[in-house]
Structures are given as structure tokens and as C-alpha cells.
A and B are shown apart, each in its own frame.
Chain A
Amino acid sequence: DQQVKQNSPSLSVQEGRISILNCDYTNSMFDYFLWYKKYPAEGPTFLISISSIKDKNEDGRFTVFLNKSAKHLSLHIVPSQPGDSAVYFCAARLGSDDSWGKLQFGAGTQVVVTP
């Protein structure tokens, strides 16, 4: 089941610069997308989300962009900080009456922010 894909397993970025993480999906029935951050031996921590009726959502240093026609979303982190070093997961939820919130996750992108 590869409906949510993160094709970059890793990303290295300099402190202060922009981190751009990408996520592609195949199911046009997804109606809600989320980004989670995960440190080793911890649970995923919610970062930011976007509904399929929007194309952009911003929260502090984090902005998520959604391109429905391309079935693509991205997470921008500006400026990147050393504490942002973690694995970032993209997740999507089906917008059907038969779905009760099941999230489908991408494989994750390991971000390393260097000084």
C-alpha cells in the first residue's frame, strides 16, 4: 500500500536556511493531510495540517502547501534550527463516510540541520 510517498529518505540543511520536504499521494479521496515530526524512541508529534479545500496553511516557521492537481504537498521550515533535526512524516486521511480517521503514512524523511 504505497498511497503516500516520501521519496527523499534524507535531507541535510544548514541552520537558518529553508528546509523543504515533499510528499506525493495517489488517492484523490484523501481530504486531510498532516505532517508529524518524530524523534528516536518517541511518538510522532503533530506539526501542521491542511484540508484539501485549501492550498496553504502557515503556523510560525512551518508552512504546508497542497497542490491537488499534482497530488503533491510540501512542508517548508524557515528558518531551520538544530532542534528541527528529526524524521518528518507526511500522513493523509480518506474523506469517505466509510473511513473513521485512519491515517496513511509516508516512509519519512530524516532531516539533519547542521550549524
Chain B
Amino acid sequence: GAGVSQSPSNKVTEKGKDVELRCDPISGHTALYWYRQSLGQGLEFLIYFQGNSAPDKSGLPSDRFSAERTGGSVSTLTIQRTQQEDSAVYLCASSVYSPGSNEKLFFGSGTQLSVL
């Protein structure tokens, strides 16, 4: 079946504009994660969804960042009033939630965000 799908693959925006990034997880995966990958900085956790709820939002860097998930499927990450330091690759991942067992993250190909 299809893997994790993210759109757009590239987004160039002007400082101060809002952007929306979309993630379509693998069908049946109840857990969904957003990460940010900056050059040389590894994978920075942003937010985790279990179904439609977000039990862990601890990684969101500021109140300009928000995310939602509807229908236990598609998720949208919104960045308001973008700043140049928001430029990065935003990766979405999904997994089958199974408490106490190993869970493999399936990553999307990411959205390259460039804020000019």
C-alpha cells in the first residue's frame, strides 16, 4: 500500500506569512508524529497524535506552531507568521500503536520549507 504522503514537497514563503503542511499517514496507523530536521541538527520532535488527540505537544517551539488531526487520519501542521529560523525539512511519520511493543516509524519524504 501507499506510504506516508506529505504535501507540498517544497514550500517557499515570505517572512510573516502563514503556511500549512499536510501529512497523510499509512492507513490504519493510529499514531502520527511531526519532526523538524534542520541542517546538522538531527530530528527534532514537534508533536505526537494518538488518534485525533495530541497527548504530547512538548516539542512545538512556539505558539506560532499548531497542528491538528481529523478523522484519525490526515494531519495539518500550521506555522503562523513564519520566521527565517523556521526554514527546515518538516517530516511526518506514522506507526501502529501497540503499547509495550516495538514500534517502527514510517516517515514521509518531508516538506522543505524555505522562509525568505
Chain A partners chain B = no
Which residues of A come within 8 Å of B, CB atoms? none
